[in-house]
């Protein structure tokens, strides 16, 4: 890892926040996709 000097805390915390936000976005996308898939299956079962 490169020497970040006095900015190490700031840079590492920014990376950590970014990774957490990306993980939350992926999780939200997966959960929403599952919800939409269930809704679509219900509509398709009702219509045919």
Query: Tens digits of per-residue pLDDT, 5-47?
Result: 999 999 999 999 999 999 999 999 999 999 999 999 999 999 8
pTM: 0.76
Instruction: Report the C-alpha gap between 17 and 23 in whole angstroms.
Output: 10
Residue 4 main-chain phi, psi, to 5 deg: -95, -5
Task: Please say if the pLDDT value at position 1 is more than 80.
Answer: no
* 15, two tokens: 């990376």
* pLDDT for position 20: 98
According to the model, what pLDDT value does residue 48 have? 74
Name the residue among 30, 29, 26, 4 with its Cα closest to residue 15: 4
Q: pLDDT value at position 15?
A: 96
């Amino acid at each position: 890892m490169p020497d970040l000097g006095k900015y190490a805390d700031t840079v590492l915390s920014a990376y950590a926040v970014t990774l957490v936000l990306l993980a939350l976005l992926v999780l939200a996308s997966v959960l929403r996709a599952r919800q939409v898939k269930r809704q679509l299956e219900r509509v398709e079962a009702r219509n045919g």
